[in-house]
A and B are shown apart, each in its own frame.
Chain A
């Protein structure tokens, strides 16, 4: 278990793709994601007027009841709450990374997305200052490397002017 020290250090946190929606869309796809990084970071900014949950489908896997689960923690200014969605619950909630609030943001960290020896854990912070704040841990129960992400909402469309940026972090 040797530790690799990079000398010189390796510049990373590389912007891979940014999508700005010119009109509403049911989903956004990041396809053929390169496998040369260790983690992915997805940054989503939400325009005024949109308020929904989010959803992610990995590698076209729609077996929500078996392969997607999450634990969420949220605070709305008066109380905190936590809930778990897994194993045959609401399929949208199972793969919901966190809330998409008006003028809000969502930042999801896909840890070890290119590894093939572990399930994929996703850490997300989300929310909007006028609504609530979220922290979510999600898991895709599959050892496969992530090659495709499809981002959507729990109903309706993603709005025009939403911006989604994907970054790669090497290790």
Chain B
């Protein structure tokens, strides 16, 4: 027997509860291609937020193979090191890079999904680690990836750039920045 709250006559969506710990800070939806997107002036969030998250759907603009390597820059600088675990077309592989690379793909209506967590983004007593979950299915190069990147720098983050790494992000790509609040 299928189960649905409708069978119980339950009110489901009318009164969502806002707990106030996860906030939308900024969004950009591309109206044309763009080689990179930067979330700037992040220092204004340092007093209230512990972690940052970027959620994105990305297409790539150029032909010649679907998968591309984007990269993350913090405060205008490349990450120091990253490791990527990727399932692709029937095999699992791992790579390391000297910058914070991530994989994206997708043309036309197909877009990669990408979620980036920036942990302790405003700490000034430790190096910064970020992690990624991303992927897309059904295009010519389907992949799913887990990735982490390390920035050998203890500075508090003031800007976060998502760079296409050569190809540009397509129109309708969407990137949103969220903050996870500190304990009071």
Contacts and interface: CB of A to CB of B under 8 A. Distances in A.
Interface of A: 1-6, 9-17, 19, 21, 25-29, 31-34, 38-39, 69-73, 75, 80-84, 86, 109, 111-112, 115, 117-119, 121-123, 125, 135-139, 141, 143, 150, 158, 168-171
A39 B59 CA distance: 17
Interface string B87-113: 111111000000000000000011111
Given A6-B24, A12-B23, A143-B109, A19 B142 contact: no
Contacts of B6: 29, 31
A140 to B, nearest CB: 9
B47 interface: no
Contacts of A1: 28-32, 34
Interface in B102-150: 109-113, 115, 133-139, 142-146
Contacts of A170: 24
Given A5-B25, A27-B3, A122-B113, A168 B133 contact: no
B180 to A, nearest CB: 9
Contact of B143 (A11, A137, A150): A137
A139 B138 contact: yes
A84 B135 contact: no
B138 A118 contact: no
Given A12-B18, A17-B13, A70-B137, 13 more contacts: A3-B37, A9-B25, A11-B24, A14-B18, A19-B5, A71-B136, A71-B143, A82-B90, A83-B90, A111-B111, A118-B57, A119-B110, A121-B111
A82 B91 contact: yes
B176 A11 contact: no
Interface of B is mostly: strand
Given A29-B2, A29-B3, A69-B142, A168 B92 contact: no
Given A82-B91, A136-B144, A21 B3 contact: yes
Interface in B8-47: 12-13, 16-32, 34, 37, 39
A10 B135 contact: no
Given A119-B111, A135-B133, A169 B55 contact: yes
A67 B176 CA distance: 27
Contacts of B4: 28-29, 31
Contacts of B109: 117-119, 141, 143
A141 B111 CA distance: 10
A37 to B, nearest CB: 9
Contacts of B37: 3
Given A1-B32, A29-B2, A137 B23 contact: no
Contacts of B179: 9
B25 to A, nearest CB: 5
Nearest to A75: B92
Nearest to B89: A84
A6 B25 contact: yes
B135 A135 contact: yes
Nearest to A28: B3
| A-B pairs with lowest CB-CB distance, top 3 | A137-B135, A73-B87, A82-B87
